[in-house]
Chain A
Amino acid sequence: MARAAISRAPVSRAVVRAPRDTAHEGFLTHRRGLWWKVALALSLVVSAAYALIDQSPRPNGGTALGYGLGTLGALLILWLSLLGLRKRIITRGAYSLKAWTSAHVWLGLSLIVVGTLHSGFQFGWNVHTLAWGLMMIVILTGLYGIIVYARLPEQLSANRQEVTQPQMLEAIRALDAHLDNAAQPLGPDDAALVRLSLEKTDIGGSLRQRLGGSYARDGNARALAAVRGEVERQRLAGKPDQRLAQILFLLERKEAALAQARRHIGLKSRLEIWLYIHVPATFALLAALAAHITSVFLYW
Chain B
Amino acid sequence: MSFIVRQIAKRADGGDIIRTRTLVGTAISVGRGTDCDVQLADLGVMLRHLRLTRLASGRVAVEATGGVPVEIAGNFVQSADLDPASSPTIDLASHRLTLGLGEAPGSVTVTAERVIPASDAADPAAETGIFSLRGTMLGKRSLAWLLVVLVLVGGLLLPWWLAGSRAPPPAMVAAAARGDGTAAPAAPIPAGFAADEVWTSGPLSSAHAGLAHDCGACHQKAFVSVRDAACTACHTPAATPDHAAPARMTRGRVTPVGLVADLHRRVDLPEGRCASCHKEHEGPRGALMVAASFCTDCHAGLAGRLRDTALANVPGWEGHPQFRPTIVTAPSLTTPRFTRVSLADRPREASGLVYPHDLHLSATNAVANMAQKQRLPVSGGALGCGYCHTPDSDGVRFQPIEMEKNCGACHDLAFARDGGVTRTLPHGQPAQVAGIVRDFYLSQALSPRAGVERIAFERRQPGQFAAAQTAALRLTGPGEARARADAAIAAIFAPGGVCADCHGVVDTGAANAATRFTIAPVRLADHYLPKGAFPHKRHLIFDKATGDAACTACHTGVRASKVSADVLLPAIATCRQCHGEPDSRTRVAAECSTCHGYHGAGDHGGDAVVAPARLAQGHRLPAAGAPRNKRAGDA
B133 touching A272, Cβ below 8 Å: yes
Could you say which of B68, B148, B198, B215 contacts A283, with CB atoms under 8 Å apart? B148
Decide yes or no: A279 and B140 within 8 Å by CB, A191-B43, A287-B152 being known contacts. yes
Kindly state the interface size class of chain A when it binds its partner: 35 or more
**Nearest opposing residue in chain B for A273, CB measure:** B133
A265 to B130, CA, bound (A): 8
Q: Do B199 and A127 have beta carbons less than 8 Å apart?
A: yes
Q: Does any Cβ of A come within 8 Å of B144's Cβ?
A: yes
Contact: A130 with B279, CB < 8 Å? no
Contact for B198 among A126, A195, A206, A210, CB less than 8 A: A126
**In the complex, what distance in Å separates the CA atom of A181 from the CA atom of B42?**
9
In the assembled complex, B132 has its CB within 8 A of some CB on chain A: yes
B130 touches A298 (CB 8 A): no
Q: Is A103 an interface residue (CB 8 A)?
A: no
B201 touches A300 (CB 8 A): no
Q: How far is the CB of B43 from chain A (nearest CB, A)?
A: 4
Q: Which of A11-19, A51-59, A231-239 binds B?
A: A51-59
A104 within 8 A of B: no
Is A283 within 8 A of B144, CB to CB? yes
Tell me which of A134, A264, A300 contacts B219 (CB under 8 A): A300
List CB contacts (< 8 Å) of B118-174 with chain A.
Answer: 118-120, 122, 126-127, 129-133, 135-138, 140, 143-148, 150-152, 155-156, 159-160
Chain B residues lying within 8 Å of A194, measured Cβ to Cβ, are 43
The answer to whether A184 has its CB under 8 Å from any CB of chain B is yes
Does B260 lie within 8 Å of A180, measured CB to CB?
Answer: no
Stretch of A60-68, A94-102, A108-116 lying at the B interface: A60-68
Q: B203 — which chain A residues lie within 8 A by C-beta? A: 124
Given that A290-B156, A296-B201 are known contacts, is A204 also in contact with B129, CB under 8 Å in the complex? Answer: yes
Establish whether residues A191 and B32, one from each chain, have CB atoms under 8 Å apart when the complex forms.
Answer: yes
Interface pick from A21-29, A36-44, A168-176: A168-176
Which residues of the other chain, A, contact B146 by a CB distance below 8 angstroms?
280
Closest chain A residue, CB of each to CB of B279: A57
Does any Cβ of B come within 8 Å of A159's Cβ? no
In the complex, chain A residues whose CB is within 8 Å of the CB of B145: 283
Inter-subunit contact A57/B282 (CB<8 Å): yes
Given contact pairs A176-B120, A191-B43, A288 touches B127 in the complex (Cβ within 8 A): no
Residues of B within 8 A of A298 (CB): 160, 199, 219, 222-223
- Give 1 or 0 for each of A264-281: 1 = CB within 8 Å of chain B CB: 110011001101100111
What class of interface size applies to chain B in its complex with A?
35 or more
Contacts of B291 in A (CB 8 A): 56-57
Cross-chain contact A127 with B136 (CB below 8 angstroms): no
Rounded to whole angstroms, the CA-CA distance of A160 and B550 in the bound complex is: 83
Q: How distant is the Cα of A297 from the Cα of B260 in the complex, in angstroms?
A: 16
Report the Cα distance A62→B224, complex, angstroms: 15
For residue A78, CB closer than 8 A to chain B, the reply is no
Task: Decide: B147 and A284 in contact? CB cutoff 8 A.
Answer: yes
CB–CB B215/A299 < 8 A: yes
Which residue from chain B places its CB closest to the CB of A262 in the assembled complex? B130
B29 in the interface (beta carbon within 8 A): no
A186 to B43 CA separation, bound complex (whole angstroms)? 9
Known contacts A54-B293, A64-B260, A128-B201; A204/B219 CB under 8 A: no
Question: Does A295 reach chain B (CB closer than 8 Å)?
Answer: yes
The answer on a CB contact under 8 Å between A284 and B282 is no
Interchain CA distance A207-B415 in the complex, whole Å: 106
Query: Interface readout for A183-199 with B: 1 if CB under 8 Å, 0 if not?
Result: 11111100110110011
Q: Which residues of B have CB within 8 Å of A180? A: 41, 43, 118
Question: Is B47 interfacial (CB 8 A cutoff)?
Answer: yes
C-alpha spacing A189/B215, complex, angstroms: 71
CB-defined contacts of A143 to chain B, threshold 8 Å: none
Query: Are the C-beta atoms of B133 and A207 separated by less than 8 Å?
Result: yes
CB contact list, B22-69 vs A, under 8 A: 32-34, 41, 43-44, 46-47, 66-68
Chain A residues, CB < 8 A from B127: 165-166, 169
Cβ of A155 under 8 Å from chain B: no
In whole Å, how far is B532's beta carbon from the nearest beta carbon of chain A? 21
Residues 265-308 (chain B) with a chain A CB within 8 angstroms? 269, 279, 282, 289-291, 293-294
Report if A286 contacts B (CB, 8 A).
yes
**In the complex, what distance in Å separates the CA atom of A194 from the CA atom of B45?**
13
B108 within 8 A of partner (CB): no
Q: Are B200 and A126 in contact (CB under 8 A)?
A: yes
Q: A62-B279, A165-B127 are in contact. List 18 more A-B contacts (CB 8 A).
A: A56-B293, A57-B290, A124-B200, A127-B198, A173-B120, A176-B120, A177-B120, A204-B136, A265-B130, A284-B151, A287-B148, A288-B151, A295-B155, A295-B199, A297-B223, A298-B199, A298-B222, A300-B224
Shortest beta-carbon contacts, A-B, top 8: A56-B291, A284-B147, A291-B155, A280-B143, A283-B144, A295-B199, A280-B144, A287-B151
Q: List 24 A-B contacts (CB under 8 A).
A: A56-B291, A58-B289, A124-B200, A124-B203, A126-B200, A130-B151, A169-B127, A169-B130, A184-B32, A185-B47, A186-B43, A188-B46, A198-B43, A204-B131, A206-B136, A264-B131, A276-B138, A283-B145, A294-B156, A295-B199, A296-B201, A299-B219, A300-B223, A300-B224
**A interface residues with partner B (beta carbon < 8 Å):** 54, 56-58, 60-62, 64, 122, 124-128, 130, 134, 165-166, 169-170, 173, 176-177, 180-181, 183-188, 191-192, 194-195, 198-199, 203-204, 206-207, 210, 261, 264-265, 268-269, 272-273, 275-276, 279-284, 286-288, 290-292, 294-300
